Amino acid sequence: MLTHGEPTKTHTGHRYFLTVADDYTRATWTHLMITKDEAMPLIKSFVVMAKTRFGVVVKTIRSDNALELYKSNEIGVFY
């Protein structure tokens, strides 16, 4: 039974997702997450992947006011 407000899990236990969209090409990448704490490491690895695979530097990151991205001091050092 699903309680009110509890995200539905996938069959592998993931409750959340992070979608990265390129405004220029409209390419998107979706990453499944078990906890929201996985968001910052995924963003960091995506920035590295974009640099190595495509030779581009991520210039701007926008979010939907996801507080999990702003809770740690790690974000300030990264940006």
Q: What is the per-residue pLDDT across 24-78, written as a single tens digit (0 to 9) for each?
A: 899 999 999 999 889 889 999 999 999 999 999 999 888 887 776 776 677 777 7
Is 41 domain-assigned?
A: yes
Can you give the residue range of the structural domain that contains 64?
16-78
- The structure's pTM equals 0.78
Is 2 domain-assigned?
A: no
Per-residue model confidence (pLDDT) at position 66: 76
Tokens 């992070």 map to which residue? 18
Number of domains in the chain: 1
Residues pairing with 16 in the sheet: 33
Is 8 domain-assigned?
A: no
Q: 26 — phi, psi (to 5°)? A: 65, 15
